[in-house]
Amino acid sequence: MFSLFNEKARKRVRVLSEQIKSAPVKKEGSKRLLFHCASHGEFLQIKPLLSLIKEAFPLSKIALSFFSPSGYEIGSKWKLVDESYYLPIDTKSNVRRFIDLIDPDEVFLVKYEIWPNLIDELHDRGIPVSLLSARFYKGQLFFRWYGKLLRDALQKLDTIYVQDEQSERRLSTIDVKSIYAGDTRADKSFQLSQERKRELHFISEFKNGKKMLILGSIWPEDWAIFTPVLTAISRQFKIVIAPHEFEPVFLAKIEHDACDSFARYSTHKQRPLSAVDILLLDTIGYLADAYSFADLAFIGGAFKQGLHNVFEPAGHGIPIITGPNLTGFNEARELLERNALVTVRSSDELLKVIEAWSDVDARQHAGNASAAYIKESAGATQTIFAHLKAKWET
């Protein structure tokens, strides 16, 4: 029903109707491993782990499932992925058909993807299921009196790899064991920082040797504090805007607020990018690499319910600005304590921070602190892989 009004839902329905017809037959001697990600971000953070698994166990088949079309469309094209699916809505009948179709030997859920019926079915069939790079904090449903369904699901997981010691302690209060491994996003960000910079010629043309600010994964609430000071900011920095959702109304508002010195990526060939001050990145797949060109980043979500990924800009040694809500995001608090991240509540505060970080020495100091944090935090992928490898080789 929702697909009648929402394009994302329509995409899910179209692909689901095709995937339920058949799945590749598993070859004898091969192991099918299913990794479920909510979206593109969760997929990116497990790519290093998938690479290690494929290298050590080349006969294994990597199957991915997604809830979001943005994740499915990017993840299904990656060279190491053998099969890609949408995860159907979590009803008992849907889950039974899905598991019958894929026939996995082991299943891995990433971060927050706790689906009770899916976990129940896997548990009943004796199929191991683990949770990767999870984070738990006070206030989540798992720890409330009415969260029994989710607590029961956690207790049926074979292994839970958590991001921090706080999560490990929190789970112990409900008699759930876990392994403190760290956050795999740090590994992906550190890996990106060590690799050769991806050639994004349109970004180079747009930057044109000037300072550049990226607004990553922003929502209308984030954009609202930029509009009153946009002109002042654009005098100091070129601005790349990457919305979290490509809602037409929001994109149109950004274009209206940006006025004349503006271009969209989708139509940028109509004018020289070096001549504009604001570029709207109305596509997916470029943001993580675009940070390597940036001098400063504003990360969205902290004026809403949850901050988005600060690991990617930090990995490239970039100072970070966010909104005020950092609840449950220990990595942001760590960066805040290291003076690599600053929170703002208003347009005036935003402008003051940007003006302070227009100084190259101030940016360099904060950026070095960002990069150092990522380097120190890396290692979760190796910890998880070592645990899996020991289990599979016994």
Residue 314's SS3 state is helix
Residue 216 structure tokens = 């990553």
Answer yes or no: is pLDDT of 132 > 70: yes
Answer yes or no: is pLDDT of 3 > 50: no
The string of DSSP codes covering 236-274 is: T-EEEEEESS--HHHHHHHHHHHTTSEEEGGGGGGS-GG
Contact 309, 299 (CB under 8 A): yes
Q: What confidence tier does 73 reach under pLDDT thresholds 50, 70, 90?
A: confident
pLDDT for position 327: 84
Q: How far apart are CA 354 and CA 363, in angstroms?
A: 10
Residue 77's SS3 state is coil
pLDDT for position 9: 52
Which residue segments constitute the domains of the chain, with CATH numbers given? 18-182+379-392 (3.40.50.11720), 194-377 (3.40.50.2000)
Q: How far apart are CA 61 and CA 34, in angstroms?
A: 8
pLDDT for position 320: 98
pLDDT for position 211: 96
With a threshold of 0.85, does the pTM exceed it? no
pLDDT for position 57: 94
Residue 131: count other Cβ atoms within 10 Å of its Cβ.
Answer: 23
Q: What confidence tier does 4 reach under pLDDT thresholds 50, 70, 90?
A: very low
Kindly list the distances between the CA atom of residue 367 and the CA atoms of 12, 295, 308, 344, 372, in Å, as whole numbers in the listed order: 40, 9, 18, 18, 9
Rounded (10°) CA dihedral 275, 277, 283, 284: 120
Task: Tell the burial category of 19 from Cβ atoms under 10 Å away from its Cβ (0-12, 13-18, 19+).
Answer: middle
Amino acid at 254: I
71-94 mean pLDDT: 90
Please state which of the ranges 18-22, 117-121, 182-186, 268-272 shows the lowest mean pLDDT: 18-22
Contact 298, 221 (CB under 8 A): no
Average pLDDT, the chain: 89
127-145 mean pLDDT: 91
Answer yes or no: is pLDDT of 289 > 70: yes
Condensed to tens digits (0 to 9), the pLDDT of residues 98-121 reads: 999 899 999 999 998 999 999 999
Q: How far apart are CA 164 and CA 373, in angstroms?
A: 14
Bridge partners for 239 per DSSP: 213, 278
Q: How far apart are CA 110 and CA 122, in angstroms?
A: 16
Q: How far apart are CA 117 and CA 95, in angstroms?
A: 7
Query: Phi and psi dihedrals of 149, rounded to 5?
Result: -60, -45
Condensed to tens digits (0 to 9), the pLDDT of residues 329-368 reads: 889 999 999 999 999 999 999 999 999 999 999 999 999 9
